[in-house]
Amino acid sequence: MTHPGELLKKNGLYAGKELGQNFLSNPATACMIVDRTGVDKETTVLEIGPGLGAITLPLARACKQVVAVEKDSRIIPLLERELADEGICNVTIINQNILKTNIAQIAGTEKLVVIGNLPYNISSQILFQLITIRQVITHAFLMFQKELAERLLSPPGTKNYSRLSAVVQYASKISRVTDIRPNNFFPRPEVDSTVLRFDFFKTNGMGKEDEILLFSVIKAAFSKRRKTLHNAMSGGELGLTKKIVGIALKNAGIDSSRRAETLTVQEFIDLSRAVGKLITQRI
């Protein structure tokens, strides 16, 4: 693996700040991450943001196939050259924005393992995307800024528990894989990074429309997190009156004076179902 700084300089390129690019530069760290994913010769991997191939190279050697989605067309020829120099031919590169990529189509009849050093500026959006198509994903290993990783891991009742925490914990079991220091990247970021594992699952009794409403209820509840649920959920995108919100909270067995960060995932599900019944009756 050629050091990304050397590779970029040689080709008159630079790390795109607007793309949130911090390339993993330590081969040992990349190999450690791949080793901890447990992928094997029967695994098809979707890699988000392969960059200059730090993870792609050991990943391709370990698994059956890698489909690498890279938005930055400038660096794809460099990545192709790195792969060719190593004699690797089981990597398919797609030049596309991951947020506009049909992941289900890539999976076909298989299930994917998703791996990625996510661009920090769109990492939350990517997570929401993966949740909506999680039926084609067994698990994911994703790298985030450590601060965001801590939010995702935070349980209800803590200050870091957020809308994203609740949505992700609804759809997956999350565990910490490893923390990575800034000196493992080029250019060096100002913060530590964390790799998390997501084991996705389907929640029984929740269809597509149920999930859409659930995510809207969670969003409304956290929209004004300093306010009580009764006040935070009134008006806004859901268009609920205070009366409807009060009835829904009562029917769900939730004290209207509580705040969003105190609710468990199951309580959000109960509240969403209560809201759904009231909306149906109103219509």
Annotated binding site for S-adenosyl-L-methionine: 22, 24, 49, 70, 117
Please state the pTM of the whole predicted model: 0.93
In whole angstroms, how large is the CA radius of gyration of the chain? 21
Supply 17's token pair: 């700040």
94-137 pLDDT, tens per residue? 999 999 999 999 999 999 999 999 888 899 999 999 999 999 99
Q: Which residues are annotated as a binding site?
A: 22, 24, 49, 70, 117
CA nearest neighbour of 33 among 93, 111, 113, 95? 113
Q: What is the pLDDT of residues 218-256, one digit of tens each?
A: 999 999 888 999 999 998 778 899 999 999 999 999 999
Q: Which domains does the chain have, with CATH numbers?
A: 4-200 (3.40.50.150), 208-281 (1.10.8.100)
Q: What distance in Å separates the CA atoms of residue 216 and residue 238, rounded to the nearest whole number?
A: 7
CA-nearest of 196, 160, 162 to 176 is 196
